[in-house]
Every structure is written in structure tokens, then in C-alpha cells.
A and B are shown apart, each in its own frame.
Chain A
Amino acid sequence: MNNARELQALYRETVLEHSRNPRNFQRLTPADRVVVGHNPLCGDKITLYLRLDNNRIENLAFEGTGCAISMASASIMTESVKHHDLDEAQHEIARIMHQFDSTNPDDATVEGDMAALGGVRAFPSRIKCATLAWKTLEAALQENTQTTTTEK
């Protein structure tokens, strides 16, 4: 059963603030990689733009529409991997996916604004909202430019 505290944990002020004022919310031109991520169940869609400098994410930005959780997650993601090496970003994706996996008992592995999204674990139907941006980033790192979906 979800109680009021869990609802507050889902929509923490950090999450709401990011969803109202998403960071790096723009088209990036030119971009080295452009990948579209789609959640077919709810229609959330983001386009992720990456500019690379050798093995480093020099800049990234996104555009799209979605719920507060997916927008906040995308916003926080752009802040947390900007200027990171691709390997580090890959590692970050793995950590985040692990955090959102509600079957995993430890939930304190992620810090910073991303930790504010930890409340989503209590809402299995909303986890895909939180992972959309990260799956899209993963597709971009793998140079998979086909539309990626949360159903993969």
C-alpha cells in the first residue's frame, strides 16, 4: 500500500523543481549523437543530444515531453554526466538502473539530486518514467540511433 509519506518521497521538492525548470533543456546543434527515447505505454518522449570530445561528454541536452518523474530524471541525468568520460557515464547508468530496480534491497548507492528520485522504487508502475532518460543515454553511448524504448 502506498501511503502519503511515500507520495511525498516520490515528489520531493528537488524532483518537482527539476521538472518545472529542467536543466539543459534545449536542442544542441551540432551534436555528435542524437537519440530518441520513447515510453510507448505512456507516450513520454525525449530527444537526447550529445556532443563528444574524444572519450568525454563535452555537452548534452534534451528536449521532450513527459511526466514530472521522467522530466526530472532527464534533467538530473544531464547534470550528472556532463563532462564525464564515456566509461564513467556507463558506470553511472549501471548504478542508477540498479537503484531503480525495486528487487534490489539497498537503495542508498546514489547521491546528489538523483537520490531524490529514489522514492520511485515504491511505485513499480512509475519506474519506467525514471529510467527513460538513462536508457536513452545508454543507447546514445552505444551509438544506437534507432528510437529506444523502455520496453527493451
Chain B
Amino acid sequence: MPAFNQKSEPVTDLDIDKLRRDFPILAQEINGHRLAFLDSAASSQRPQCVIDAVRHYYERDHANVHRGVHTLSHRATEAYEGAREKVRCFINAASTREIIFTRGTTEAINLLAASFGQSIKPGDEIVISHLEHHSNIVPWQMLCERIGATLKVAPINERGEIIMDEYLALLGPQTRLVAMSHVSNALGTINPVEQIIAAAKERNIPVLIDGAQAVPHQSVDVAALDCDFYAFSGHKMFGPTGIGVFYAREEWLERLPPYQGGGDMILAVSFSGTTYNDLPYKFEAGTPNIAGAIGLGAAIDYLLDIGMDRIQAHEAALLDYATREISTVDGIQLIGTAAHKAGVLSFNLDGIHPHDLGTVLDHQGVAIRTGHHCAMPVMEYFGIAGTARASLALYNCRQDIDQLIHGLQLAIGMFRS
């Protein structure tokens, strides 16, 4: 493999070499090269402590929760509810009654669309942005089509930022909900969610924030944000797949009808009717993903142990470095150049299709995502079919970026002769 300059790490006090050793998957070669994993926006890797927590649960503590009087059921329940408290603390929710475990962000948004959607009437309006992931478009589109409501889309500018004046102009007497991403998965834009929420609240419009791309990279405080709903996924924040969180203010959860019916979400069932369970269980029908929640709890412990501010500083410094380095590549076009960006580099390279780039980079051990990133309207705005996307997480370092740049140069040599 080629030799890389061992440039010093960004000026943060994180010991990245030590951090990287927490993630066993990173210590392998891919196609004969050191793995440079730059696809954490699609799904991150897991530290050993998360893997151990899930393993320990299955080896020692598994039983169904909220049911048995036996010891294992008690342990499982304690661990599952303990994870809920960790989530509450992590996002500073007022109570664990406000923390609903879901399969992920997608299910959380679908939960809201199904439940809150029952109050939507023909002519009502839901406001989203042009930056959204498909999971924060399609559920609302389906709801609007079913009811005869209207989906309004706040436009973006050529840097990939929501045009705030136009967003504000969309808020009107018919607006029932604002649903926006905290951070764009395709471009990395950090949206001004504080202003987005404040403007909606002034007009008594509830707000959902899709936080899937924010939570792994910065501290999130739902109380300070003052949002009504917040959704995120475990697998993008170093936890297991198949677990996510739907946060909602308690007053909303009291009013909203249940999402799915089944066991655990009831207090009493007879053929003449059912009494729903207390919060948060009213929204958790069936046996939940207990191991997933416990693994997510372990991931939260891990993140808090490092410190979200230090993670954010490390990623910001690395993004600066990566942006500088990639800008020197001949024929590079960065897509998404917002003033406030998270660790995402979406780009195209003249004369080389992203998929060919992805294959060549894979041969150099560099894992990136190529395509539309489940954000086809964003691609349409920029008039492109897709991009190559390198995304950063706490375990990335300058060597990953150098390996990416080296791979890009190789691709240029192959395709542009």
C-alpha cells in the first residue's frame, strides 16, 4: 500500500488511535488495504462495548420485558428501561414517558404520520424542506394524498441551505406541522433548527425534527430546541440496527392515538373495548427490540464518556482538513457548501461516474456511498443523478482522508487518459 504522510491530527485532545481500537471492524484490510471507512452517514460502526452489551444481554439476561415475575424478566426490564432513561438524559427530555423506542427514524416518522395524521383534514398543509431524506418526504406525501392535504416544500439555495424567507412565507393558517431534518444526510448542511422551530412555535405549529444525522455528531437538547417531536436511529450513532427513538412532548403523546395495536400497549382488553397503557407503552405494541435498546444505551454511554463537544470539535477540524484536501483534486465539484456543515463531503469528479469512483475506491480500502443518498429531490435540484459521498464519524482521521484523496488520483489516472 502507498505510504501516507503521517500528518499530525487535528488540534483536539481526542486520542483517535485509542478510539479506533474500540471499533474492532476498523482493524481489518479490505482488498489488501487499510480500511478507511467513510460511510458512517449510511450506517456507523459499533464499539466493542456495544457489541458486548448486546452479547451479555443475550448470554445472561434475556426474557420478555414488563411481563414475568421471574428474575430474568426483571433483569431484562431493568436493562430495557435503563436504556430509556439513558436516551432521556442524552437528549434532555423531561421524562422517560416521552421516549418511544421504534425501529429507527423511518418508523418514528411513520408513527407520527399515522397517529398525528388522523387529525389532518383536506386543505391542511404540512411543510418540509427540499433537503429531506425520503423518509421525511414519503410518509407525508402518502398522508397528504390520502387526506387531500398539501405538502409544501421550503426551497434551498445553490449552497444547499434552506432559504429561510421562503420557509417563513410557507407558514400559514393551514399549516398543521413542520417536519425538517436537523442535518442533511446528502449534503451535510446543518439546518438552523432553532429558528425553524421558533418561527413555527410563534404560529402554534408543531415541529418534528429528523435528527438521524445530528445525534451522532453533536449534543442535542430537545428542551432547549423546544421542538414537539424528534426522531433518530441507533445504527447511525454506533448502536445496533433496528432500534431508534421517537421523542414527543408528553402532552402530545397523551392526545395522539396509538400507532400499532397489540400486547404491551394495553391495560385491559375485552371485546367491548380496550384500555390503552400508560406512556410510553401506549406507543410500543408487541415485544420490543430489547437487545437493540440495551445496545443503544451502551452507545450513549460511550458517546457521553468521550463527550459530544469533543466529538464535534474533532469532526469539524477533520471536515476542514478534508474540504481543503479534496478541493485540490483536479475537476472536483463539491455539492453542498453550506456555511454550517456536518462531516459530509458530497462531490462529483469530472468525467468519472460516482459508481466507477466507488468501485475504484473500494479497491483502495476506501468505503464511500455513491448514488442519490435517498434524497432524490436534492440531486434533482443540482441537476445530477447522484454524488460520491464521504461521511465522517468520531473514529475517522487524516489518514482516512489521505487514502480517499490518493484513491481519487488513481481513478483520475484510470478514467481520464
Q: Give chain A's interface residues, CB within 8 Å of chain B.
A: 1-4, 7, 10-11, 16, 41-45, 65-69, 123, 125-126, 129
Q: Is the CB of A42 within 8 A of B371?
A: yes
Q: Give chain B's interface residues, CB within 8 Å of chain A.
A: 31-32, 352-356, 359-360, 362-363, 370-372, 379, 385-386, 414-415, 417
Q: Is the CB of B32 within 8 A of A126?
A: no
A and B contact pairs by CB, cutoff 8 A, 19 listed:
A1-B31, A1-B32, A4-B363, A7-B360, A11-B360, A16-B414, A42-B370, A42-B371, A42-B385, A43-B371, A43-B386, A44-B355, A45-B385, A68-B352, A68-B356, A68-B415, A69-B356, A123-B359, A126-B355
Q: Is the CB of B371 within 8 A of A126?
A: no
Q: Is the CB of A2 within 8 A of B385?
A: no
With beta carbons under 8 angstroms apart, the residue of A2, A42, A66, A129 that contacts B362 is: A2
Closest A-B pairs by Cβ, 10 of them: A43-B385, A67-B353, A67-B355, A7-B363, A68-B356, A67-B356, A43-B386, A2-B31, A42-B371, A42-B355
Q: Is the CB of B359 within 8 A of A126?
A: yes
User: Chain A contacts of B385 at CB under 8 A?
Assistant: 42-45, 65-66
Q: A16-B414, A42-B386, A43-B386 are in contact. Are A3 and B32 (CB under 8 A)?
A: yes
A-B pairs with beta carbons under 8 A, tally: 52
User: Chain A contacts of B356 at CB under 8 A?
Assistant: 11, 67-69
Q: How far is the CB of B260 from chain A (nearest CB, A)?
A: 29
Q: How far is the CB of A46 from chain B (nearest CB, A)?
A: 12
User: Chain B contacts of A68 at CB under 8 A?
Assistant: 352-353, 356, 415
Q: How far is the CB of B45 from chain A (nearest CB, A)?
A: 20
Give CA–CA (A129, B359) in the complex, Å: 12
Give CA–CA (A45, B379) in the complex, Å: 14
Q: How far is the CB of B355 from chain A (nearest CB, A)?
A: 4
User: Chain A contacts of B379 at CB under 8 A?
Assistant: 43
Q: Who on chain B is nearest to A125 by CB?
A: B359
Q: Who on chain B is nearest to A13 by CB?
A: B417
Give CA–CA (A11, B356) in the complex, Å: 9
